[in-house]
A and B are shown apart, each in its own frame.
Chain A
């Protein structure tokens, strides 16, 4: 765990006012109450920073923010850290406001661990009781210990030079499910993106859903999972993880477990990505229902409920009706019908 270096900088909004980017910074002593607070944040970062991110590259292993971060990690000083603070100031608007930036560098085993954290300035009232009197004072530029609004990014690797491409982030100021981590923090400042691309994460979810439907033995669970896919159109553009699907689709335990057990690596359950409805539609393009009569009804998933009318008959059987112009008819061998994907 040992923290070896800690620095702090006052970062003013400088995006529209480059003159305001004169930045004061200081080294934080590695003992005392402030250090205790920072140690706590540093320790919790592995758990709190739950959004996997990756520096964007122009194609030549180039990323301006990573360059500053690795330069700082290689030679930590007030000056090398100030370059990071300058970058933050240059993307900070008046809406984001004044912030206090902390750079905390330590080692865990052979790995370097760097935490970059920003606390927004707040205002407060200081109340002091002195015998029979009470004095109150309005304080500006207060940085709250109750860390409900901080942003952080964490990088860990044994090699500063070759590693530090992948990291994790958190943005406690964001509450909207479609944003998750502010453009300001992840995209503008860190010049990063989600580690999992939209298409990759969406395909992973669709593949798990397909497998879960295929292997679920309970017809009710199958039906619940198939119904969930029709709700997916509401998720377009949202940032989510597969774990979030449980609450978004109000899935039963059995349906959720079926999805979970269909993942190749359960650790992908928590990886965040931006849902891509077009990709999802491609991955679950067709829906089919097979009856005990041997009849199979198949239609594009997008239009299944519009094209095929479903009626429950006495609770024990279903009637499916559809209509249209016949454009083709086919015959298949028994082998073709039973073949995977047939």
Chain B
């Protein structure tokens, strides 16, 4: 069953998701043409190993996904990295004009005294423009995930993912988690300072 699922996903990954992610990256760049302070745009197809890891979540008797191919909706993931916190909203307003979403949320730590992951996440429909008309329609995902983050949010999330989720000697210790939270607080603080500086600078330039 698992082997069959992996084979099914690999076919989709190679035949559709990879080329679709490449086209999506170009499409998002074109959509944001003329929008300032976009550091980078990236899109990628979820690798078969990550897909299988996600598909296997939950218990044997109560799996999280009964139909992973349909239910896992971030098979294509895209990121827009911007310079300042205020740019997130600005870029998001452009995204809202050119894409319909089914999900839009700001991921923030649960408590105001906690520091961790921050980011704007969307589930957006895949534009018809980037679909090859020869592809099997049933294999094309309806949606892709888009994250909009600042450079600091992105840097912290990448390191956190690498250290926290990879199997590097088991789970992080309490001390390591505290240091990770400290780094998140520093990233959050740097974002606030740079945002204030950018705001001051633009006010001075306009004065």
Contact = CB atoms under 8 A, between A and B. Distances in A.
Interface of A: 54-57, 59-61, 109-111, 157-159, 161-163, 165-166, 193, 195-200, 203-204, 263-268, 271
Contact of A57 (B102, B127, B130): B102
A166 to B, nearest CB: 6
A312 B73 CA distance: 58
Contacts of B125: 54, 165-166, 195
Nearest to A198: B97
Given A111-B138, A158-B70, A158-B138, A59 B103 contact: yes
B104 A197 contact: no
A294 B127 CA distance: 40
Contacts of A111: 138
16 contacts: A54-B102, A57-B103, A60-B103, A60-B105, A61-B123, A157-B70, A159-B70, A161-B67, A162-B67, A163-B70, A166-B142, A200-B97, A200-B98, A263-B129, A268-B129, A271-B128
B67 A267 contact: no
Given A158-B138, A163-B142, A54 B128 contact: no
Contacts of A163: 70, 142
B103 A193 contact: no
B102 A165 contact: yes
A195 B100 contact: yes
A204 B99 contact: no
A238 B55 CA distance: 44
B133 interface: yes
A61 B99 contact: no
A59 B105 contact: yes
B142 A161 contact: no
Given A54-B125, A59-B103, A165-B125, 13 more contacts: A57-B101, A157-B70, A158-B138, A161-B66, A161-B70, A163-B70, A163-B142, A165-B142, A193-B100, A200-B127, A264-B130, A267-B131, A268-B128
Contacts of B192: none
Top-4 shortest CB links A-B: A159-B70, A59-B104, A199-B97, A162-B70
A265 B99 contact: no
A313 to B, nearest CB: 38
Interface of B: 31, 66-67, 70-71, 73, 97-105, 123, 125, 127-133, 138, 142-143
B128 A159 contact: no
Given A111-B138, A158-B70, A161-B70, A264 B129 contact: yes
B135 to A, nearest CB: 10
A111 B101 CA distance: 23
Contacts of B132: 265
A34 to B, nearest CB: 32
Nearest to B143: A165
A43 B74 CA distance: 33
A110 B104 CA distance: 30
A158 B70 CA distance: 8
A61 B98 contact: no
B180 to A, nearest CB: 28
Contacts of B67: 158-159, 161-162
A161 to B, nearest CB: 7
A214 B105 CA distance: 41
A165 B127 CA distance: 14
B100 A54 contact: yes
Nearest to A55: B102
B73 A162 contact: yes
